[in-house]
Structures are given as structure tokens and as C-alpha cells.
Amino acid sequence: MKNHSIFDCSIIHLPRIYNRSGNITPVENLKNIPFEVKRVYYLYDIPGGESRGAHGHKELESLIIAASGSFDVTIDDGHNKKTVQLNRPYFGLHIRPCMWRDIHNFSSGSICLVLASELYNEEDYLRSYEEFMKFNSSIINSVVK
């Protein structure tokens, strides 16, 4: 397994098809995003200022999009941290495996759309920061060996 850093997690500019009566943003597997989507979920009815998603994933990668409104995503690879504000439906933040992520500062009425590379699997979650750091160093050690 590869050890990714926050610098491998970038904003992907999605296509925009303009129309007077509204715009369209299509997202196609392996064309606009570098992985195959197995699951889509969205967070909504989030009270303004609330936080979600403080966890990591062992293998899952995802693209996070502010389909409506705005929020901040903080990603942490165990060494470095960065916070990205998402506020346009045509920008997606690509989150690589094994990142601690925290989604916060939701504007009221915002919708957080997540395209995910795996089906829901509780075994893939790193629910505590301690568990995340342990898993993270086990990958680094296996790469170094």
C-alpha cells in the first residue's frame, strides 16, 4: 500500500456545461476523476457551523463536492495538515486513502456530496486519531522495509 501525503490530495476542476436555465456538472469514472465510483452519499440538513466526518479510511478514496453552500475540509496525513474551503459545485477535493479528515464550518442548507471508491465497510474506518496514526505508521514501516 502506498503512503500518500496531503500534497497528493488536490482540487479537481469538474466540467461545467452552462445554460441560461441552469448549469450541469457531469462526473465520469476515470475520466474526470482518477478512481471508479462504487458509492455516492450526501450529507444534508446539517445545522450551520456543525462538524462531521472526523475519521480516516484505510483504503477508500473519495471526491468531496459542495453540491450546495460551503464547508471546510481539513485533511491530515499524520505529518502535515491543510484546510480547503469548498464552495462551488464544480470543484471536488480528491482525498487519497489514509488521511484523517474533518469536515466543518458548514453553511446552513449546504449539501456535501461524496463520491467514494468502495461500498460502505465499517472495517475500513479509522475511528480514532490514535488508530489512524498507528495504521499510518504501519504503512510507512511496510514501505521502508
Tell me which residues are annotated as active site: 55
Cβ–Cβ < 8 Å for 50, 106: yes
Q: Does 44 bind ligand TYD (CB under 6 A)?
A: no
| Residue ranges in 55-114 that form contacts with ligand TYD under rule CB under 6 A | 55
Of these, 6, 33, 53, 77, which contacts ligand TYD (CB under 6 A)?
53
Stretch that binds ligand TYD, among 47-55, 69-77, 87-95, 131-139 (CB under 6 A): 47-55
Q: Per-residue b/e over 98-130, b at no fewer than 16 CB within 10 Å?
A: bbbbbbebbeeebbbbbbbbbeeeeebebeeee
CB of 55 to ligand TYD, least distance (A): 5
Of these, 83, 87, 120, 138, which contacts ligand TYD (CB under 6 A)?
120
Cα dist. 137→31, 134, 140 in Å?
32, 5, 5
The three three-digit cell numbers of residue 112, written as one number: 456535501
Stretch that binds ligand TYD, among 13-21, 49-57, 60-68, 133-141 (CB under 6 A): 49-57
Residue 129 DSSP SS3: helix
